[in-house]
A and B are shown apart, each in its own frame.
Chain A
Amino acid sequence: MSDIRTETMTVNMGPQHPSTHGVLRLVLELDGEIIQSVIPTIGYLHTGIEKTAEQKKWQQVIPLVERMDYLGAQSNSLAYALSVEKLLGLEMPQRVKDIRVLLAELQRIASHLIWIGTHGLEIGAVSMLFYAVRERELLLNINELIAGFRFFPSYIRIGGLREDLPRGFHAQVQEFLDRFPGKIDEFEGLLTKNDVYKRRTQNVGVITREHAYAWGLVGPIARAGGSDYDVRKYFPYSGYETYDFKVPTATEGDVYARYRVRVAEMRESLKIAKQALDRISPTGVFACDDTRVVPPPKDKVYSEMEALIQHFLIYSQGFTVPAGDAYVPVEGPRGEHGCYIVSDGTNRPWRVKMRAPSFMAIQALPTVVQGGLIADVVAVIGSTDVVMGDCDR
């Protein structure tokens, strides 16, 4: 039988394909059902945000970077704001740090909800999407409450936050925090012991820790393969060192392990969010007191000449940032999210570069799926949780 020659078949998957999470194109070379090679093509969603950012003032870049990883918008702006604050040498008040932590964790839950929904949908558990998006709606409502914008709140600013928390914020977040643990149990009831789901995901798309490190994957993917690297623990920012939480890990490194890690992460995020909410007073400081960056309070603007001038300068010229470069990573929903910025000492950035976890995950995809079945490609892409906006920027 071995002398029978078979032809390989080339199959094009994407860019308009429901299970490629946006506009990812894969050219698969198949021998029967076995994958011989995969060539990913990206760039369909490239919008030149990094180039555009160089034309904007420092503060104006915040809404731009939020549009990169559109499911984890606030981890983009947090990374960017922290990097600029590093160059400026700003230290945030405790309340600002706590609000940022709370928002970042809610964002992580929202992103993981979309992930669990779409991943379930692709594997065949269609109803997952409806349950997950229903919960995400509550998180988007919180975004709407604080910023009037559900997807890209641009609430985190350089030097603090845009404004103080609105009335009713605590009650609305508390309602979500009380409701959500039961919902995670519901999700787990649908998938964790589901035999069909387990057969599709166990021992599929294994990424060991060494494999992940070699390909620059740090985040939930590496943690499912035995790594314990989490930026929040290793290089704490915004006061994460004062919170009590665990970093969920697994050792198998397969799709199922990544699922378990992310579900456990949602529970940990909930724990952090609860602690943060308890620390935040309903009203208080929402920005640092550095007058270079933060405009003076409105009553001073109306009564003091210097405050008026400062207010006018910040809104017309913007502020300058000392020359130099900085890279501050945060733990985004997809892994290490960092922003490398270069300043030439003017009021506009010289270079803004986002470190994109999805970019690295798609690069490593061929090494993971080669030799596997074509049906597993969808499971593996889903489990790496790629966002094409993040990848193409």
Chain B
Amino acid sequence: MDAQAIIDKLTPLVPGAAFEAASSVDFATLYVPAGQLIAACQALRDSLNFEVLVEVTAADYLPRAPRYEVVYHLLSVSKRLRLRLKVRVMADGTVPTVQSVYPAAGWLEREVWDMFGIVFDGHPDLRRLLMPEDWEGHPQRKDYPVQIQKAAQTYAPLEVSQEQFQANLERDRVKRTH
């Protein structure tokens, strides 16, 4: 099934959506507007049998105007089909999370945020995944330098003020008397 056939099936299911077929060498590829992404994924999973979200990733096309493309690879085991969804994202734009449709998107989107800094609206846990918690910047961006000197991450030394120490002792005493 080529991209146009999928668009023809998908358009009645997602009201007001403007899908766009993209050229590809391997399998059907669609451009989906960020606003309709969740509705499109819902329709693809429930009506067109794309049960598995295989991969979410992104690419940074730096000088170009919609700077990022977030790429979703879907798989339909029952129909032996693959589909690629692309969402164009501006440099300061966001994408809605598709976790409600595909739970697998959780970490994949987290990795995309970690590496590219693309914010996924509604994502409950957008923290560093592969990079250390205190890392600055998003390494997969094209304007991120390749050779970068950075001190190794260490844990902050334990600093306890006299008041905190005393309060801790008191709390302990209260616990023991009960």
Enumerate chain A interface residues (CB-CB to B < 8 A). Answer: 42-43, 46, 48, 50-52, 55, 86-87, 89, 213-216, 218, 227, 229, 234-235, 324-329, 336, 338, 340, 342, 350-351, 353, 355, 359-360, 363-364, 367, 392-393
The answer to whether A43 and B84 touch (CB under 8 A), given A214-B103, A218-B54, A353-B57, is: no
Q: A43-B128, A324-B25 are in contact. List 5 more A-B contacts (CB 8 A).
A: A86-B26, A216-B104, A326-B25, A338-B54, A338-B55
In the bound complex, how far is the Cα of B80 from the Cα of A324, in angstroms? 23
Complex: A360 Cα to B53 Cα, angstroms:
11
Q: How far is the CB of A156 from chain B (nearest CB, A)?
A: 19
Q: Please measure, in the bound complex, the distance between the C-alpha atom of A350 and the C-alpha atom of B59, giving whole angstroms.
A: 8
Could you write out 5 A-B pairs with CB less than 8 Å apart? A42-B129, A43-B128, A43-B131, A216-B102, A235-B80
Knowing A55-B146, A324-B24, A340-B73 are in contact, say whether A359-B107 is a contact too (CB < 8 A).
yes
0/1 interface trace, chain B 86-119, chain A, CB 8 Å (1 if under)? 0000000000000000111011100100010000
B14 within 8 A of A: no
Q: How far is the CA of A342 from the CA of B71 in the complex (A)?
A: 11
Closest beta carbon of chain A to B124's beta carbon, Å: 13
Return the 8 tightest CB-CB contacts between A and B, nearest first. Answer: A216-B104, A43-B130, A46-B130, A363-B107, A351-B59, A353-B57, A213-B51, A229-B77
Q: Indicate whether A43 sits within 8 Å of B132 (C-beta atoms), given known contacts A214-B103, A363-B104.
A: yes
**Cβ < 8 Å to A, chain B residues 30-77:** 51-55, 57, 59-61, 71, 73, 75, 77
A340 touches B57 (CB 8 A): yes
- Determine the residue in chain B with the shortest Cβ distance to A215: B104
Cβ of B140 within 8 Å of any chain A Cβ, yes or no, is yes
Chain B residues positioned under 8 Å from A340 (CB to CB): 55, 57, 71, 73
Whole-angstrom distance between the Cβ of A335 and the nearest chain B Cβ: 10
By secondary structure, the A interface counts as mixed
Contacts of A355 in B (CB 8 A): 54-55, 73
Could you tell me the distance between the alpha carbons of A214 and B102 in the complex, rounded to whole angstroms?
A: 6
A-contact bits for B123-160, CB 8 A (1 contact / 0 none): 00000111110000001100010100000000000000
> Which residue, A213, A350, A353, has most C-beta atoms of chain B within 10 A?
A353
In the complex, chain A residues whose CB is within 8 Å of the CB of B107:
359-360, 363
Q: Which residues of B contact A87 (CB under 8 A)?
A: 25
Nearest B residue to A364 by beta-carbon distance?
B104
> For residue A392, which residues in chain B have a CB less than 8 angstroms away from its CB?
130
Q: Of residues A48, A327, A392, A393, which shows the largest number of chain B Cβ atoms within 10 Å of its Cβ?
A: A327
* A328 contact set on B, CB distance < 8 A: 26
Chain B residues with CB under 8 A of A46: 130-131
Whether B103 contacts A215 by the Cβ 8 Å rule is yes
User: Please, which residue of chain A has its CB at the minimum distance from the CB of B103?
Assistant: A214
Cα–Cα, bound, A213→B50 (Å)? 10
Instruction: Known A324-B25, A328-B26; judge A218-B73 contact (CB<8 A).
Output: no
Contact indicator A235/B82 (Cβ below 8 Å): yes
Chain B residues with Cβ below 8 Å from A42 are 129-130
Taking CB atoms, residues of chain A closer than 8 Å to B23 are: 324
Inter-chain contacts of B27 with A (CB < 8 A): 327
Asked whether A342 lies within 8 Å of B130 as measured between CB atoms, the reply is no
Contact A234 B26, CB 8 Å, known A43-B129, A216-B54: no
With A and B bound together, what is the CA distance between A355 and B23 in angstroms?
Answer: 22
Please pick, from A89, A214, A353, the residue contacting B104 in the complex, using a CB distance under 8 A: A214
Please measure, in the bound complex, the distance between the C-alpha atom of A50 and the C-alpha atom of B54, giving whole angstroms: 18
- B146 and A51 contact, CB distance less than 8 A: yes
* B22 CB → nearest A CB, Å: 9
Whose C-beta in chain B lies nearest to the C-beta of A353? B57
* Distance of A63 from chain B, by nearest CB (Å): 18
How many angstroms from the CA of A351 to the CA of B115 in the assembled complex? 12
Is the pair A218, B130 in contact by a Cβ cutoff of 8 Å?
no
**Complex Cα spacing A52 to B146, Å:** 8
| A159 to B128 Cα, complex, angstroms | 37
* Distance in Å: Cβ of B36 to nearest Cβ of chain A: 22
Q: Which of A52, A216, A342 has the most CB of B within 10 A?
A: A216
Contacts of B146 in A (CB 8 A): 51-52, 55
Looking at B54, B71, B131, which has the most chain A CB atoms within 10 Å of its CB? Answer: B54
- Provide the bound-state CA to CA distance between A263 and B71, in Å: 35
Interface contact B130-A51, CB-CB below 8 Å: no
Q: CA of A213 to CA of B75 in the docked complex: distance in angstroms?
A: 10
Kindly provide the distance from the CB of A243 to the nearest chain B CB, expressed in whole angstroms.
18
